[in-house]
């Protein structure tokens, strides 16, 4: 199951208590204070892991609590720090504080980590309160509480190329043909309901990542047809590949519909490089006159026959680089 959004509660560990203790030895029955500090409470850390592709594990554990720090001891011994909780999430995970809707972390690199909630500081032992006027302090500090909060966890797919098109434009078929990905493919709209990732290899040792984004429809930027859930994944892609069905009788209108929905969702997406591609050339022999309205070169492919795929890959590589 592909899960790209969830909400969780985080509770960092509380710091341990400082100790009130005095040195008592055979030859020093009235030794001074030697109470140690309490240990730090455990942090809650989020770490990006390239082996994960969904927030499924996080979603089914809605609350994370780190261990409290241990109390200090005699002989100035500090308490042990509480164990940190490390939450593994996919690359491209965004953490947002629900209280003020602020972005706390954006993990876009493998093994990148961020302390979301810091553990509480341990309390000072009574040795820290010794002074010239107080040789035997009976005072120690309690540990501080750790940070807590409720957070929204959102995954935005990271890919070099994002496939954009109306439902049934041939996105999944193309991804399955030029990569090892095996998305569900059928001849009816909305076959793809979640993003699919595929690695496209070229040359001897090179590759790029392509994302099959579920089909967009008019009104997607306003949330129609789960539009917001689909459009957010386009934000992370370096290059957008618009796929227009070769049998479409109004291809120019379809392209403008897609572009309008994307820009309405996020105007900044207008600066991304994009490529337009006419699909299904093996069956789209009778073309609409609207194809002449495009003022940009259009690539022609057939994912079924393989026509134009090598040219498409080389064009995408140049655009990515």
User: In the β-sheet with 44-48, what is the strand arrangement from edge to edge?
Assistant: 85-89, 44-48, 113-117
Arithmetic mean of pLDDT, 265-281? 90
The tokens for 49 are: 């892991």
- Return all residues near 202 (Cβ < 8 A) that are at least 6 apart: 208, 313, 314, 317
Model pLDDT for residues 128-176, shown as the tens digit of each residue = 999 988 988 999 999 999 999 999 998 887 788 988 888 878 888 888 8
- Answer yes or no: are the C-beta atoms of 67 and 81 closer than 8 Å: no
Model pLDDT for residues 293-309, shown as the tens digit of each residue = 988 889 999 988 999 99
Model pLDDT for residues 99-108, shown as the tens digit of each residue = 999 999 999 9
pLDDT for the residue numbered 186: 44
Task: Looking at the structure, give the CATH architecture of the domain made up of residues 161-320.
Answer: 3-Layer(aba) Sandwich (3.40)
Task: Looking at the structure, give the CATH architecture of the domain made up of residues 1-155.
Answer: Distorted Sandwich (2.70)
Global pTM? 0.75
Rg from Cα positions in the chain? 29
What are the boundaries of each domain within the chain? 1-155, 161-320
* Cα torsion angle, 143, 144, 150, 155, sign: negative
Report the C-alpha gap between 232 and 261 in whole angstroms. Answer: 12
pLDDT band at 219 (very low <50, low <70, confident <90, very high): low
Report the C-alpha gap between 65 and 204 in whole angstroms. Answer: 47
């Amino acid at each position: 199951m592909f899960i790209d959004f969830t909400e969780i509660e985080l509770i960092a560990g509380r710091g341990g208590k400082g100790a009130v203790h005095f040195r008592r030895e055979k030859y020093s029955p009235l030794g001074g204070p030697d109470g140690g500090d309490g240990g730090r409470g455990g942090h809650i850390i989020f770490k990006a892991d390239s082996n994960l592709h969904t927030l499924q594990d996080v979603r089914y554990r809605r609350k994370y609590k780190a261990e409290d720090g241990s109390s200090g001891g005699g002989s100035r011994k500090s308490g042990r720090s509480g164990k940190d909780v490390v939450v593994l999430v996919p690359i491209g995970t965004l953490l947002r504080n629900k209280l003020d809707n602020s972005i706390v972390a954006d993990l876009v690199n493998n093994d990148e980590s961020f302390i979301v909630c810091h553990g509480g500081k341990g309390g000072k032992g009574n040795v820290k309160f010794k002074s010239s006027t107080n040789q035997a302090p009976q005072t120690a500090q309690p540990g501080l509480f750790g940070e807590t909060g409720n957070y929204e966890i959102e995954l935005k797919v990271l890919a070099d190329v994002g496939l954009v098109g109306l439902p049934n434009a041939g996105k999944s078929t193309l991804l399955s043909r030029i990569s090892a990905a095996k998305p569900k493919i059928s001849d009816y709209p909305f076959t793809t309901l979640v993003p699919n990732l595929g690695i496209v290899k070229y040359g001897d040792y090179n590759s790029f990542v392509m994302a099959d984004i579920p089909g967009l429809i008019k009104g997607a930027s306003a949330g129609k047809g789960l539009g917001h859930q689909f459009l957010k994944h386009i934000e992370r892609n370096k290059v957008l590949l618009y796929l227009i069905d070769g049998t479409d009788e109004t291809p120019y209108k379809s392209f403008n519909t897609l572009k309008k929905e994307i820009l309405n969702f996020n105007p900044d997406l207008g600066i991304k490089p994009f490529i337009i591609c006419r699909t299904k050339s093996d069956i789209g022999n009778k073309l609409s006159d609207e194809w002449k309205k495009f003022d940009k070169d259009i690539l022609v492919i057939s994912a079924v026959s393989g026509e134009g795929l090598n040219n498409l890959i080389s064009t995408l590589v140049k655009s990515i680089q």
